[in-house]
Amino acid sequence: MLTDLGWTLARIGNEVEAATVFQQAEDSLKIQKGSSDRTWWDYLLEALASSGFVSRAAALSERIMNAVDSSNDNQNGILQNCAIACGKGGQFELARKFIDQMQGSSWKRGAFISLSDEAIRQRDLTAAVQLAFAWPGWIEPGHWAEMLTPLADALADAQRFDDLRSLIPLAKEASLRHNLLAQLATGLARARHFTEAFDAIERADLEHVMIFLADSSVAFDQVEPGLSIRALEEATAVAGWVRDDWGKIHEILADPGMAPTDKAGIS
């Protein structure tokens, strides 16, 4: 197929030949209103976007959007496929133009979910954060959690803490918001920003404070061996006033006859 040939030529550095073949591929698709052959539109778009032919991909996108009638529910699937194709090619701003053309919440929901997944997978964190802020508020909470949780992990690993902080207000449910705070605090602790870490976690609930202390154990022990266990002992002593299960964990951690390695296994 011409698209595959153009893709291969681009990958081996033959850009002039690739451009010629891509043009032939586009000409063969007959992109116009009422066309019955729309199967390969998104495939060519992905090939152009991922091969560095961004201006050609943008021009092709305009042609496709002009050829698609978004008032026809089935044709919104074409727009969704093209949005995802642009994302696979790393062109997320172009992808959002296709989303803007869609009608129907199910098509937009699917496109946003797929594009956010793709941006995180590619570690294009700037695009992933921008997409998160573009998500419509009507998307269900479960989808928000599935998107924000791995994004927060990636941002913490990259030490992009300001971006992670900016996402927290997007979490409408308290449990998700507290989880993001714990992820932020853990990332800060691992980066040895302990004051900021405790400032962040003080806004979380008890359960997520414990998660933070456990997940940050290595960082604490790098400051002073055994510090993580002592911190958990103190925290569970306080938590035990509120919940019996934490009190029982405190009793185990505070047991002088328990080996330090066994205590570490609890955390």
> What's the rounded Cα separation, in Å, for the pair 118 and 196?
30
Q: Is the pLDDT of residue 101 over 70?
A: yes
Lowest mean pLDDT among 34-48, 69-83, 115-129: 34-48
Helix/strand/coil (H/E/C) assignment for every residue in 23-78:
HHHHHHHCCCCCCCCCCCHHHHHHHHHHCCCHHHHHHHHHHHHHHCCCCCHHHHHH
Residues 6+ apart with CB under 8 A from 260: 226, 229
Give me the percent of the chain exceeding a pLDDT of 90.
66
Q: Is the pLDDT of residue 265 over 90?
A: no
Going by pLDDT thresholds of 50, 70 and 90, the confidence category of residue 83 is very high
Give me the percent of the chain exceeding a pLDDT of 70.
85
CB-count burial class (<10 Å; 0-12, 13-18, 19+) for 20:
middle
Q: Over the stretch 133-162, which tens digit does the pLDDT of each residue have?
A: 999 999 999 999 999 999 999 999 999 999
36-74 b/e (C-beta count within 10 Å ≥ 16 → b):
eebebbbbbbbbbbbbebbebbbebbeebbebbebeeee
pTM of the predicted protein model: 0.85
Q: Is the pLDDT of residue 75 over 60?
A: yes
User: What is the structure's pLDDT at 28?
Assistant: 87
Tokens of 80: 């969704």
Q: Is the pLDDT of residue 29 over 90?
A: no
- Measuring CA to CA, how many Å separate 82 from each of 51, 95, 134, 159? 16, 7, 18, 32
What mean pLDDT is predicted for residues 51-60? Answer: 95
88 or 71: whose pLDDT is higher? Answer: 88
